[in-house]
């Protein structure tokens, strides 16, 4: 047996054969053999992040922007623990992320011997943080375990999967697998809808005259079927993670303005006789903890049988792949069904009124969505952090045209926008990326600014600077009598920080110049930073439900 090829080499070659061209992480004592294999082959761009937290979120952003496999490589114990937040967010988002981590030598695993980086039940922690976790238990099992993990990550519903490779196994000499000469990664096929279920679905829909289509993350691959239904007369809304399935400049799609904080939309739901929900959990975050009233005749389609009745009760539920289901439904309805008289015109008028009314609540930021859309290329990726501007116009009225351009923290964790933005920009394949963050979120993980400076992605970092946690202050004003404890931050000057990192920067002090300034930054190759001075532009108005005093 040749000693020049070991399990670390096998991992490196496996990733390349899966089509991986970029991976994220930090070199450490328990992953050197794998990273040595990657480095010697020079087929994968390894992005050296400043922390495993950033690496895991970057792999998530990369997976979303490419609709492929994101890879993060960490060390054992503290290193893998640092990656947990990114894995949790990838699980929220349904991102195919493969996390490869080390482990102490097999003779010490799970024995609590105090070896370097040894922690209690690392495998259990990783399993709880994502879709699944596996341990390679011998050199001969390495390939099979990796194939199972990557396939599971890519099989809908997608999610993050961890593989532990103990350090002694990484070093173990092994013959190069003959399978690599004809390698194909098996990925589970979509669940085809039952023909009888499709027939019944068509019968139920045919009775409606004012139907709505709610598109979630699980419907991102169903554009053709969804468009066909809109052509027949459906109106559409999206979960915030399902946006862009149908381009939001389509007159029959109101996108992310799906009811919460939009009374015009909620009033329109009252006049609808059917809502077809496809690939969505109808999350409490977007429905104001399920207080948004949806049509009682709610039909749900999902590949996960456990989605039935998880949040809103379903009048009828069917299991099936979203793309096949919507295409099958549209073909059954074509030429046999049409929406009620005047429904299209009413929907278009409602969309215009609802968007105008929502923008009118934004004070000096009312034009920001339109300004940004006007200067961003149609295929540019729009990444956001949790910040006032995203919770309002970013999630709800900025037009998203493709699901791969819509990236934000589904789990609502602050501070991950920069990481998601770097990962997305590195996977954008020539497209521009704009990342919008608040100052609180940006400074939480600003060390990754140096990753951007080193890797030089085409990334515009827009930082909305209100010198504190603006969302928290609105909550405190609404629910806690205006007692604003612990919301103000001492932070470095953003222009000086950008200069220190060698990143060109711009500053907006006039709200009407927001778009033009971002356009200047977009014209510069590589990373740039745009600071929006919100104290100069004006206070951001509270948004629903925090626009009323409740305590």
In a domain, 550, yes or no: no
Residue 202 and residue 154 share a domain:
no
DSSP annotation of 156: S
Residue 378 and residue 255 share a domain:
no
CA 239 to chain centre: 12
Instruction: Indicate the residue among 153, 182, 211 that finishes a domain.
Output: 182
In a domain, 254, yes or no: yes
Phi, psi for 70 (deg, rounded to 5): -95, 140
pTM across the whole model: 0.96
Domain extent for 286: 195-354
- 211-242 burial code (b ≥16 CB/10 A, e <16): bbbbbbbbbbbbbebbbbbbebbbbbbbbbbb
Residue 161 and residue 42 share a domain:
yes
Bin 5: left if φ > 0, else alpha if -120 < ψ < 50, else beta.
Answer: beta
- CA-closest candidate to residue 172, choices 29, 4, 56, 376: 4
Residue 477 and residue 412 share a domain:
yes
In a domain, 505, yes or no: yes
Average pLDDT over residues 377-392: 96
pLDDT in tens, 127-177: 999 999 999 999 999 999 999 999 999 999 999 999 999 999 999 999 999
Residue 529 and residue 405 share a domain:
yes
Pairing assessment for the beta strands 211-215 and 70-74 based on DSSP bridges: unpaired
Output the pLDDT for position 109.
81
Whole-angstrom distance, CA of residue 513 vs CA of residue 271: 40
Instruction: Indicate the residue among 329, 354, 379 that finishes a domain.
Output: 354
Output the pLDDT for position 342.
97
Residue 379 and residue 296 share a domain:
no
Residue 144 and residue 65 share a domain:
yes
Q: How many separate domains does the chain show?
A: 3
In a domain, 517, yes or no: yes
Residue 137 and residue 222 share a domain:
no
Q: Give one DSSP letter per residue of 50-118, joined into a string.
A: SSHHHHHHHHHHHHHHHTS-EEEEE-STHHHHHTHHHHHHHHHHT--EEEEEEES-TTTTTTT---TT-
Strand partners, 213: 236, 276
CB 53 within 8 A of CB 86: yes
Strand partners, 319: 302
Residue 406 and residue 318 share a domain:
no
The first and second tokens of residue 479, run together, are: 């629910």
Going by pLDDT thresholds of 50, 70 and 90, the confidence category of residue 327 is very high
Residue 347 and residue 403 share a domain:
no
Contacts of 359 (CB under 8 A, 6+ apart): 366, 367, 369, 393, 397
Whole-angstrom distance, CA of residue 322 vs CA of residue 319: 9
- CA-closest candidate to residue 407, choices 431, 390, 389, 429: 390
Whole-angstrom distance, CA of residue 391 vs CA of residue 261: 11
pLDDT greater at residue 543 or residue 457: 457
Residue 376 and residue 345 share a domain:
no
Q: In this model, does residue 2 exceed pLDDT 50?
A: no
Strand partners, 274: 211
pLDDT in tens, 78-92: 999 999 999 999 999
- CA-closest candidate to residue 109, choices 77, 75, 146: 77
Q: Indicate which CATH number applies to the domain containing 222.
A: 3.40.50.1220
Residue 283 and residue 405 share a domain:
no
Whole-angstrom distance, CA of residue 438 vs CA of residue 394: 12
In a domain, 545, yes or no: no
Q: Indicate which CATH number applies to the domain containing 68.
A: 3.40.50.970
In a domain, 187, yes or no: no
Whole-angstrom distance, CA of residue 534 vs CA of residue 511: 9
Contacts of 313 (CB under 8 A, 6+ apart): 298
Whole-angstrom distance, CA of residue 9 vs CA of residue 139: 12
- CA-closest candidate to residue 156, choices 220, 113, 252, 211: 220
Q: In this model, does residue 1 exceed pLDDT 50?
A: no
pLDDT in tens, 503-534: 999 999 999 999 999 999 999 999 999 999 99
Instruction: Indicate the residue among 137, 161, 182 that finishes a domain.
Output: 182
* Cβ neighbourhood burial of 380 (10 Å; 0-12, 13-18, 19+): buried
Q: In this model, does residue 325 exceed pLDDT 60?
A: yes
């Amino acid at each position: 047996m040749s000693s020049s090829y070991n399990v670390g080499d096998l991992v490196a070659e496996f990733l390349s054969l899966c089509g991986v061209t970029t991976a994220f992480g930090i070199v450490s004592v328990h992953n050197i053999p794998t990273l040595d294999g990657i480095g010697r082959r020079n087929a994968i761009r390894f992005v050296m992040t400043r922390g495993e937290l950033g690496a895991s979120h970057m792999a998530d952003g990369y997976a979303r922007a490419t609709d492929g496999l994101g890879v993060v490589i960490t060390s054992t114990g503290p290193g893998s623990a640092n990656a947990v937040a990114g894995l949790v967010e990838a699980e929220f988002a349904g991102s195919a992320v493969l996390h490869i981590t080390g482990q102490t030598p097999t003779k010490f695993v799970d024995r609590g011997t105090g070896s370097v980086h040894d922690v209690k039940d690392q495998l259990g922690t990783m399993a709880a943080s994502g879709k699944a976790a596996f341990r390679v238990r011998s050199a001969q099992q390495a390939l099979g375990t990796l194939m199972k993990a990557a396939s599971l990550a890519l099989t809908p519903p997608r999610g993050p999967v961890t593989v532990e490779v103990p350090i002694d196994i990484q070093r173990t000499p092994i013959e190069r697998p003959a399978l690599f000469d004809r390698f194909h990664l098996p990925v589970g096929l979509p669940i085809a809808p039952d023909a009888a279920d499709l027939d019944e679905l068509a019968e139920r829909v045919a009775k409606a005259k004012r139907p709505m289509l709610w598109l979630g993350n699980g419907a991102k691959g169903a554009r053709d079927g969804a468009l066909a239904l809109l052509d027949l007369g459906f109106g559409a809304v999206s979960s915030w993670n399902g946006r862009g399935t149908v381009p939001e400049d389509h007159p029959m799609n109101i996108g992310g303005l799906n009811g919460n904080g939009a009374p015009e939309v909620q009033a329109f739901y009252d006049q609808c006789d059917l809502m077809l929900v496809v690939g969505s959990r109808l999350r409490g975050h977007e429905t104001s903890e399920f207080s948004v009233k949806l049509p009682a005749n709610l039909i749900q389609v999902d590949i996960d049988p456990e989605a039935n009745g998880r949040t809103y009760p379903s009048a009828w539920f069917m299991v099936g792949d979203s793309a096949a289901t919507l295409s099958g439904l549209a073909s059954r309805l074509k030429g046999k069904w049409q929406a009620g008289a005047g429904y299209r015109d009413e929907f278009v008028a409602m969309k215009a009124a609802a968007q105008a009314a929502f923008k009118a609540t934004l004070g000096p930021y009312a034009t920001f969505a339109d300004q940004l859309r006007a200067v961003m290329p149609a295929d540019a990726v729009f990444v956001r952090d949790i910040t006032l501007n995203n919770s309002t116009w970013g999630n709800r009225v900025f037009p998203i045209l493709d699901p791969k351009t819509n990236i934000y923290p589904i789990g609502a964790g602050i501070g991950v926008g920069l990481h998601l933005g770097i990962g997305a920009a590195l996977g954008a394949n020539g497209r521009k990326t704009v990342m919008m963050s608040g100052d609180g979120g940006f400074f939480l993980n600003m060390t990754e600014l140096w990753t951007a400076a080193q890797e030089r992605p085409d990334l515009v970092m827009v930082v909305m600077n209100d010198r504190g946690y603006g969302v928290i202050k609105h909550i405190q004003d609404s629910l806690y009598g205006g007692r604003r404890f612990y919301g103000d931050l001492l932070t470095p000057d953003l222009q000086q920080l950008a200069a220190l990192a060698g990143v060109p920067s711009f500053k907006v002090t006039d709200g009407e110049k927001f778009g033009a300034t971002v356009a200047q930054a977009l014209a510069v190759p590589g990373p740039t930073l745009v600071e929006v001075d919100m104290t100069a532009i004006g206070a951001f108005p509270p948004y629903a439900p925090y626009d009323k005093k409740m305590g």
